[in-house]
Structure 1
């Protein structure tokens, strides 16, 4: 964060640079135990019981790709991979193998990342197993300095990293290689993209990566962050014992701090690519970043957030015009890279309307620069900011450990203050009232400057000859600057959301389930409400609802109108408010409410804090009873949607995705991809009528509420806003459209794209014996196959980065399953890797999985359920899913026993049943040049 002058206390007091330098940094959150060992190794420990019996370890290294020498480009990231491929106490792949047996999932739980300036490893573990906890610390110690870097493992991992690099290839990557040096002013950041170069990755010698490891993986650049249900004193002593003997190298290299230097010039670049789907323009104003370390800098961060929030709302209002001038557009201040912040103005243009869209976006930045924001806008922004802090403070005792970790990572790696929510809240309460409008308005002039400005223009290749040059874009900027603009008018409705307050219904039946901890209410209109109060959060209520019907009740001719109705109609606002008025009414409130219509049901989902729960229910009531209709806004939505689809066929991934949907859906019009012709089929009148049909009658509606509420206190609100919904008592069940994955064997290749990359999707499908035990069994089959594909396709053949196996089962309209294997690879490896996949499936069918892999699946499932079931979101999904499928709410009671009953023989039988090969679909995306060979 950076502004040219630090202003405090309503702008009356200005500090000199010397005074700022003398200001003390904000203290670290007192709940954190921190220290630095004699060798420079830092640690941060915090006790936190959310979730219970869990701890997360993060090893942070101030080591990234900017530290690589020319012959090491890509090796910071490669080193991250090698930490999983052999350490002192876990040779070869034993680390992943051991953790999987302990219930830790590779990729989902056990993971790492490498960026320009840092490399971070993460390991979440249960704390109820002392041996595993000690092993976890040993793993972190090994990662710090004990990687073996076996040449055999290095050579095996080359292919994996190259496949990861391959996944990123495409139009965006091709253009980034051209504009990155320009916007980064040819700094070291422009030359050290973390993924590296093919030449280095293919040819580096083991001693080259050992040199990088020796130079930079050292205690004075490292920190261990431990947050979870642990004893702080004991953990601190363990860290001192385990990490105190780490050694810094003799004659160690200085850890240079690289930056992006500002040249004081303006730059322009225009790029096109045949696979780009839209024309975009971005203007970046770069300036030095101010660290967030002191109280005064924290105050300025509040000012910047207020500015961004108000500016964002201006653009949101502009996008809701009847004829919006762009697909999307906006501006704001944010962090950039290499010690810089930036003011970013961006636009996705409608086809043929780049000038119009750009001027519209630029006009709003110019309007803010000239006239600033209004006092009413600032008041709303302040209230919203304060409400956010209030909500965070109320959850301070139920904050997830990962959230704390992110704070301490920023503290160690970037020096960002982490004083804790209590201290932040107190600063906000103190500073927020005194922030004056002129302080916020001043930011436009400080960021919106005449130098250090980059203009980046990207477009489809076919539009190359019609694109503007730098002089033309500059003339657009000047034209807007010379316009006679008026100040923004902040029009706020004084009307209530609901014109006439609803007549409350009554609870006619109450059924308590003490074992499940639920209460089932039946309201006088027949609507059922299942309530589960929890203590997982202190200020969170989640809810969802369904009723049978959905788009299945409408003919194909109405399908587009029906499928889009729940997206279109609520966008017009609700009750007395148009969308802009509704947005201002909801400003500062912590809630979300979203109606939906799926194929077999319709309903609503939402969330709110306790304070704003009644407003959420009020909004829910209006969405059901007082939908709005706006022809002009509808035309604007349609125009933006058409613009976004204009060049969809350029992008290989979209073409492949649409092909997959079409093949799996037997080319039914409801399964094929979006087109301009389909958008033309949407009728506002028909969408509005269908919306009212689906939401105008609450018959058959079932709600589920989960969270931090009291049932007796919530009941009057439910009676008022849900019990008052009109209901005839009759509802139409969903229809079976008989759109199933086709039977037999199908193979299809899509040739699209220029990069040497392929995508493979394999499908098996058929009838399914739908019950809890069988769902557990097919999930075990999925996991055992994924483990083997990871071991063979990635570790054994170095042919993929991350193979995935997915399973879907359904009860309605038919009991069916879909089994999917997917991976990306080089085109030359497609047939080989498919053959390897089918060979692993054949082995499962003839030999079954190893007991070890079954044990890994069981351990992962148990640990995942333990953690996930301590969240409101899991319970909402579980209860709603059981209700919508008419399944037993107590099915979870047998989950553990169902897991224990799964054996290798049972999985072998499942493999033969579900992966028999009679119904097999093989879909492959290959580059266009492969079609000629």
Structure 2
């Protein structure tokens, strides 16, 4: 075991011994108590609540209403109404009329969708409400909203009818190959259970025709306190939170009589069965093996927790074996996973799944089954177990280190799982202590015994093949799937052997260079260094996260420096190099050598830049490991034809499957139309492009850009000591090669078309359409102008939601985005995608351009602009406490040549922005005589599709 790992383990045990109560001889049969981090209570009416005070981020509160009721509880005339109730929660209640809730939340900086949201599943409905706590009224209103959701929805007929079109548009989005495949597969996966008949989106005829009382019946029956939990995590005193909960929820009562809340049974499959299902628009080919379902064990004791860790170790090791398989010559599949999945609150099953590659379904099935049989027969090795232990320990160590800097939203999931699936809540500190206690004592024989007990031999599995319906590649027969599984189970399987690996990536670090210049920026907390090889470094030590260091590097260069004939090779160069590993190590080898360490670094040949990214923990040896990986990425490329072929096979299969997807062909048409099929346009590559990729040319291109660090400025942000970091920077960054190369971008003349260009694309059998609109043109770039463009986009998205969705019911959702760009020339791009139905397309286009014209003539109203500013103010406050934000902004200031002081001053420009500024921006950028409109319409109009459907019946 590496010395650093033992040292960290000893240090951690010492710290825990000093800070946590002794965990003497654990009674494995004892239940795990709820930790002190959360207060869990229950009101007399049965409502459960969770309160966790957490100040990250400050002045923000995460509220959830969890209802233990979803689509599986719907009566036959209610299919889809659990989800419809969720929609109505935002459309009229005791304290908020239709749309008043959304309007109010936007006014206090809470965005619909990004912040305020909800979801409905088979067994639960969860409402999501983050609230700023800078004003007490916000908190009071937040709890009032939860109370309204719980029992105060008005559900009046007019509001219900208004929402029908919106829900039907959401249903339309679900239509496609995935839905068609699920209709066949789901009944088999759920063995005829009610779950297969109650997909949350529901049935179209029900959504169109249900009576309001049918919806009210679902709400009355299932929205009741004994099936509810309120979760409160964030910057609030627990006593205040509990007071709010009691004030708002103690008066709720359960209906009389109460309907019994049942969980449908799922019968266990006794015989092995095969299912083949294809669709010409499917996203890819896959095989899925589902073994008999069984009740999920309630692991509420220390012994149950220990068994969960055994299960996790088992899954980690087995899935790493599958990862190894995809790097072999003629890999049996493109990727796979296996293990135990808990697919309802009460049931679990063992599964194996793989993305099918060019060799087809049978080799994929054989490989999945054989690896499972190998683990069942021979188990794992001590080396595999030790690596899994290290990785697991490091994961929990990071959680422990970050316990005081973890975002409140990250804790919410634990409380939802406790309420919905009885997950234990020991707390981060206690859980880390348990892992420390249990991991060393988990033996190889225990893990191997778990494998023998868990991996099914041959009984009652469902073998599913789902794939793209292609004339040139027939789907396998049912009998072939069964035969492949049966032969794999009966095959003579040998024991797996581990190859010996080096203990570290670099046996001998390079002789250090020097730091030749140093300066401080005390206002921003920066240290700037110039190294002896000319490389520059910006250091920003922070306490935002206790166990995180982030690195970036960038300079001008990129793909556009290369000739047109090299486009496929430039696109793939970074990925090809990464997928072959480093030095003498494959990617799988690197994962094993770095087991127990959080450290990575990657390179990217982007359009106009060469970029580097890295991450590590705060441990100085992990930072060194990250820098070693970075150094080796500049030291050359590991040439491995086997790994190259495996990677390119996966890419070709992905591109082959992509051709079947109408949305993908639509995206290609947008780019082709916008740039008139310029060879440098930013479109997806094709199979023909992939066939032109050369291993040696990709390596040559990579080396041209990443064999020298000349012109690079690296930014490191995170939890580190500058003095301790400097020697590592001198060793690794100051010794990077800096031979001559071009440090500039090339303008290849890529320009969008001008004038009004309209195109229709036909694709897809469902009655679905998508509108794409793109505005482009020259623009004078500045940071202030970029802000004005961003504000214009925010206002447009408010209008899309309010007018096209809420008022007109034409869409479910849409997004428009825009940017002013400096490289390779000063210009702007605004693009929007709006899904709708073909029968609504003309109305959508008219409504969109009406809103554009309104913004150009009248601009936003003050309330709209205030919503944008309030949200940005809150987002900026949170961003200033995030390492990734500082890293991105500092790196951008280097490339743009701007003053990084704006990081602290950007809100001054936001506050100064006026409605007139946004109106002027709309006039500059929404040029209705210069845009590209591309519409995706179905292959068959609705009348033809309906006639064909009737003929089929």
Q: TM tier, shorter chain?
A: over 0.9
Equivalent in the alignment of 1:5: none
Q: Out of 466-475 and 815-824, give the one that drifted further.
A: 466-475
Equivalent in the alignment of 2:687: 676
Equivalent in the alignment of 2:391: 384
Of 237, 258, 261, the match for 1:252:
258
Deviation of 1:562 after TM superposition, in Å, equals 1.8
Deviation of 1:753 after TM superposition, in Å, equals 0.6
Equivalent in the alignment of 2:210: 204
User: Contact between 1:282 and 1:457, CA under 8 Å: does it hold in 2?
Assistant: yes
Of 304, 308, 327, the match for 1:297:
304
User: Could you tell me how far apart the structure 1 residues matched to 2:943 and 2:895 are?
Assistant: 50
User: Could you tell me how far apart the structure 2 residues matched to 1:846 and 1:277 are?
Assistant: 44
User: Contact between 1:761 and 1:821, CA under 8 Å: does it hold in 2?
Assistant: yes
Of 614, 628, 631, the match for 1:621:
631
Equivalent in the alignment of 1:633: 643
User: Could you tell me how far apart the structure 2 residues matched to 1:891 and 1:444 are?
Assistant: 56
User: Contact between 1:284 and 1:455, CA under 8 Å: does it hold in 2?
Assistant: yes
Q: Out of 119-128 and 245-254, give the one that drifted further.
A: 245-254
Of 112, 115, 125, the match for 1:109:
115
User: Could you tell me how far apart the structure 1 residues matched to 2:486 and 2:203 are?
Assistant: 42
Of 50, 58, 73, the match for 2:64:
58
Of 29, 36, 48, the match for 1:30:
36
User: Could you tell me how far apart the structure 2 residues matched to 1:764 and 1:465 are?
Assistant: 41
Is the aligned partner of 1:342 residue 2:346?
A: no
TM-score (norm 1): 0.95
User: Contact between 1:661 and 1:673, CA under 8 Å: does it hold in 2?
Assistant: no
User: Could you tell me how far apart the structure 2 residues matched to 1:449 and 1:336 are?
Assistant: 21
Of 405, 411, 427, the match for 1:420:
427
User: Contact between 1:184 and 1:260, CA under 8 Å: does it hold in 2?
Assistant: yes
Deviation of 1:500 after TM superposition, in Å, equals 4.5
Q: 1:104 to 1:442 in 2, by over 3 A?
A: same
User: Could you tell me how far apart the structure 2 residues matched to 1:78 and 1:708 are?
Assistant: 46
User: Could you tell me how far apart the structure 2 residues matched to 1:563 and 1:345 are?
Assistant: 33
User: Could you tell me how far apart the structure 1 residues matched to 2:747 and 2:861 are?
Assistant: 40
Alpha-carbon displacement from aligned partner over 1:68-115 (angstroms, at most 9, x marks no partner): 111111111100110000111111110000110111100001011111
Of 909, 926, 931, the match for 2:920:
909
Deviation of 1:495 after TM superposition, in Å, equals 6.1
Deviation of 1:826 after TM superposition, in Å, equals 0.8
Of 489, 494, 509, the match for 1:501:
509
User: Could you tell me how far apart the structure 2 residues matched to 1:256 and 1:89 are?
Assistant: 32
Deviation of 1:21 after TM superposition, in Å, equals 14
TM-score (norm 2): 0.93
Q: Give the 3-state SS of the residue equivalent to 1:618 in structure 2.
A: helix
Deviation of 1:622 after TM superposition, in Å, equals 0.6
Q: Give the 3-state SS of the residue equivalent to 1:704 in structure 2.
A: strand
Alpha-carbon displacement from aligned partner over 1:825-844 (angstroms, at most 9, x marks no partner): 11110111011000111111
Q: Give the 3-state SS of the residue equivalent to 1:512 in structure 2.
A: strand
Deviation of 1:465 after TM superposition, in Å, equals 8.9
Equivalent in the alignment of 2:486: 478
Alpha-carbon displacement from aligned partner over 1:571-618 (angstroms, at most 9, x marks no partner): 211123233322211222212211111011112101110221111111
Q: 1:505 to 1:458 in 2, by over 3 A?
A: same
Alignment of 1:231-246 (within 5 A): 231-246=237-252
Q: Out of 454-463 and 604-613, give the one that drifted further.
A: 454-463
Is the aligned partner of 1:603 residue 2:611?
A: yes
Alpha-carbon displacement from aligned partner over 1:319-372 (angstroms, at most 9, x marks no partner): 112332222233222222352222221222224532233323322222222211
Q: Out of 348-357 and 57-66, give the one that drifted further.
A: 348-357
Alignment of 1:289-328 (within 5 A): 289-328=296-335
User: Could you tell me how far apart the structure 2 residues matched to 1:852 and 1:340 are?
Assistant: 49
Equivalent in the alignment of 1:843: 854
Equivalent in the alignment of 2:162: 156
Q: 1:114 to 1:491 in 2, by over 3 A?
A: same
Equivalent in the alignment of 1:794: 805
User: Could you tell me how far apart the structure 2 residues matched to 1:512 and 1:631 are?
Assistant: 47
User: Could you tell me how far apart the structure 2 residues matched to 1:531 and 1:561 are?
Assistant: 34
User: Could you tell me how far apart the structure 2 residues matched to 1:701 and 1:60 are?
Assistant: 49
Of 633, 646, 661, the match for 2:671:
661
Is the aligned partner of 1:642 residue 2:649?
A: no
Is the aligned partner of 1:408 residue 2:418?
A: no
Q: Give the 3-state SS of the residue equivalent to 1:46 in structure 2.
A: strand
Of 530, 536, 539, the match for 2:544:
536
Deviation of 1:28 after TM superposition, in Å, equals 1.3
Is the aligned partner of 1:821 residue 2:832?
A: yes
Is the aligned partner of 1:856 residue 2:867?
A: yes
Equivalent in the alignment of 2:99: 93
Is the aligned partner of 1:171 residue 2:177?
A: yes
Deviation of 1:478 after TM superposition, in Å, equals 2.8
Q: Give the 3-state SS of the residue equivalent to 2:499 in structure 1.
A: coil
User: Could you tell me how far apart the structure 1 residues matched to 2:179 and 2:849 are?
Assistant: 33
Alpha-carbon displacement from aligned partner over 1:261-315 (angstroms, at most 9, x marks no partner): 2243333211111112433211111332112322111111111111111111111
User: Could you tell me how far apart the structure 1 residues matched to 2:700 and 2:508 are?
Assistant: 22
Alpha-carbon displacement from aligned partner over 1:662-718 (angstroms, at most 9, x marks no partner): 223331223243212111221111111111111111110011111111111111111
User: Could you tell me how far apart the structure 1 residues matched to 2:673 and 2:449 are?
Assistant: 56
RMSD after superposition: 1.9
Equivalent in the alignment of 2:369: 362
User: Could you tell me how far apart the structure 1 residues matched to 2:555 and 2:379 are?
Assistant: 47
Is the aligned partner of 1:452 residue 2:452?
A: no
Q: Give the 3-state SS of the residue equivalent to 2:465 in structure 1.
A: strand
Equivalent in the alignment of 1:578: 586
Q: 1:874 to 1:385 in 2, by over 3 A?
A: same
Q: Out of 822-831 and 671-680, give the one that drifted further.
A: 671-680
Deviation of 1:464 after TM superposition, in Å, equals 9.9
Q: Give the 3-state SS of the residue equivalent to 2:300 in structure 1.
A: coil
User: Could you tell me how far apart the structure 2 residues matched to 1:815 and 1:357 are?
Assistant: 50
Of 75, 78, 88, the match for 2:81:
75
User: Could you tell me how far apart the structure 2 residues matched to 1:372 and 1:638 are?
Assistant: 32
User: Could you tell me how far apart the structure 2 residues matched to 1:391 and 1:277 are?
Assistant: 36
User: Could you tell me how far apart the structure 2 residues matched to 1:171 and 1:928 are?
Assistant: 14
Of 47, 65, 74, the match for 2:53:
47
Q: 1:23 to 1:261 in 2, by over 3 A?
A: farther
Equivalent in the alignment of 1:276: 282
Alignment of 1:766-781 (within 5 A): 766-781=777-792
Is the aligned partner of 1:918 residue 2:924?
A: no
User: Contact between 1:495 and 1:576, CA under 8 Å: does it hold in 2?
Assistant: no
Q: Give the 3-state SS of the residue equivalent to 1:929 in structure 2.
A: coil
